[in-house]
Structure 1
């Protein structure tokens, strides 16, 4: 499964309790860029580049999948150079809580 296909599983793994009142766009710069929009307790994922992303994550496909599954620690990935971030760093720290990793595995 490609990272882009994996990202399209995010809406089904959305943690409703964690996203109440959240409105954001998360850009994933991977081999096939995609972005997730969270608004009104709903997550949508689209291929391409968002013009108004709140945070941009740039990383290798396999690292992104490991990160979202909970197998790769975000801080370790950032400190180790596997993850580059632009934009709202506080939002970046909260992303893992927005999705139930067990539903992505």
Structure 2
């Protein structure tokens, strides 16, 4: 799956109800890919290319781990505990990603 397909898959799963009044920016650094960030505000999710000046949480991972997260093969906590996912910034906020982007 290409980076763009993975990103499109993630954004298509956004659950506005789970977001509620959340106002947050998640920066993603995929191994071998261009950085991108997801902005969640007022129940909407926007995918943006590049690096945000002040993200709430930054997630660094390889493509394989990102695909496993998207497929439900692994969850974020498992990936984090195994050292496959690095999180800087608001770690508690990052734990909400599973609810914000549920696996179908």
Q: CA deviation at 1:101?
A: 1.4
C-alpha RMSD over aligned residues: 1.4
C-alpha distance 5-47 of structure 1, shift in aligned 2 (>3 A): farther
Q: Which runs of 5+ in 1 are unaligned?
A: none
The runs of at least 4 aligned residues of structure 1 exceeding 6 Å deviation read: none
- Asked if the contact 1:36–1:44 (Cα under 8 Å) also holds between the matched residues in 2, the reply is yes
- Asked if the contact 2:69–2:76 (Cα under 8 Å) also holds between the matched residues in 1, the reply is yes
2:65 alignment counterpart: 63
Deviations 1:58-88 (A, max 9, x none): 0001211211332112122111110111000
CA distance in 2, matches of 1:54, 1:95: 12
SS of residue in 2 equivalent to 1:44:
strand
- When normalised by structure 2's length, the TM-score is 0.88
1:34 alignment counterpart: 36
Number of residues of Structure 1 aligned to a counterpart in Structure 2: 102
Moved more, 74-83 or 87-96: 74-83
Q: CA deviation at 1:4?
A: 3.8
CA distance in 1, matches of 2:70, 2:54: 22
CA distance in 2, matches of 1:84, 1:72: 15
- Asked if the contact 2:10–2:70 (Cα under 8 Å) also holds between the matched residues in 1, the reply is no
